[in-house]
């Protein structure tokens, strides 16, 4: 899968958006296909933090564990999947101040393994883009609806 990047502007301060996105207990609110999520150790993400996700993607159950490889709190975090994940991937979240809010940029670059390796690449790429756009739209709706 080529690098997929999607962006959304949310009418909330960067610190609020980043804190909301860093709280793994809230991720089911804005991650459309997320079934389970857990983090070790608990608390704010730091280099070495592990996040395990179980999701449904294209009708398949997928499990990925990400390790934070770079963290600039409230500005940027980068992750890499661990061995045994359904996707060999790197991902990055960036938060940037813009007039009236925050621009959130999500980027994912990966290679399908496990059950996903049998899905044609074009179909996998388009489904990934669609899911990333839906994720960001849900994130925007949740954050802009809260007081």
Regarding predicted confidence, which is higher, 32 or 13?
A: 13
Q: What share of the chain is helix, strand, coil (3-state, %, to 5)?
A: 30, 45, 25
* pTM for this prediction: 0.87
- Preceding omega of 41 cis (within 30 degrees of 0): yes
Residue 101 pLDDT grade (very low, low, confident, very high; cuts 50, 70, 90): very high
Structure tokens at 55: 């999701």
pLDDT over 90 at 21, yes or no: yes
The three-point CA angle 67-56-72 to 5° equals 25
> What pLDDT, on the 0 to 100 scale, is given for residue 48?
98
Contact 15/74 with Cβ under 8 angstroms?
Answer: yes
Domain boundaries, the chain: 4-145
> What pLDDT, on the 0 to 100 scale, is given for residue 127?
66
What is the Cα–Cα distance from 15 to 99, expressed in whole angstroms? 14
Return the residue matching tokens 């990400």.
66
pLDDT over 60 at 105, yes or no: yes
The dihedrals phi and psi of 50, each to the nearest 5 degrees, come to: -110, 135
CB neighbourhood size of 80 (10 A): 16
pLDDT over 80 at 43, yes or no: yes
pLDDT over 60 at 45, yes or no: yes
In CATH terms, is domain 4-145 a member of 3.30.530.20?
yes
> What pLDDT, on the 0 to 100 scale, is given for residue 24?
96
Residues 6+ apart with CB under 8 A from 7: 103, 104, 105, 106, 136
Cα dihedral: 43, 52, 92, 83 (round 10): 130
Q: Report the half-sphere exposure of 97 (CA within 13 A, side-chain side).
A: 3
- Of 12-21, 34-43, 51-60, the range with the lowest mean pLDDT is 51-60
> What pLDDT, on the 0 to 100 scale, is given for residue 67?
97
Contact 117/141 with Cβ under 8 angstroms?
Answer: no
């Amino acid at each position: 899968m080529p690098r997929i990047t999607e962006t959304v502007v949310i009418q909330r301060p960067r610190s609020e958006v980043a804190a909301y996105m860093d709280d793994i207990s809230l991720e089911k609110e804005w991650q459309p296909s997320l079934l389970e999520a857990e983090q070790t150790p608990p608390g704010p993400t730091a280099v070495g933090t592990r996040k395990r996700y179980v999701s449904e993607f294209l009708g398949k159950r997928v499990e990925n564990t990400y390790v934070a490889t770079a963290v600039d709190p409230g500005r940027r975090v980068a992750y890499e999947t661990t061995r045994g994940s359904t996707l060999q991937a790197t991902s990055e979240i960036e938060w940037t101040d813009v007039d009236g809010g925050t621009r959130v940029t999500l980027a994912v670059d990966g290679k399908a393994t496990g059950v996903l390796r049998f899905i044609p690449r074009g179909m996998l790429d388009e489904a990934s883009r669609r899911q990333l756009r839906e994720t960001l739209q849900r994130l925007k709706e949740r954050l802009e609806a809260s007081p």
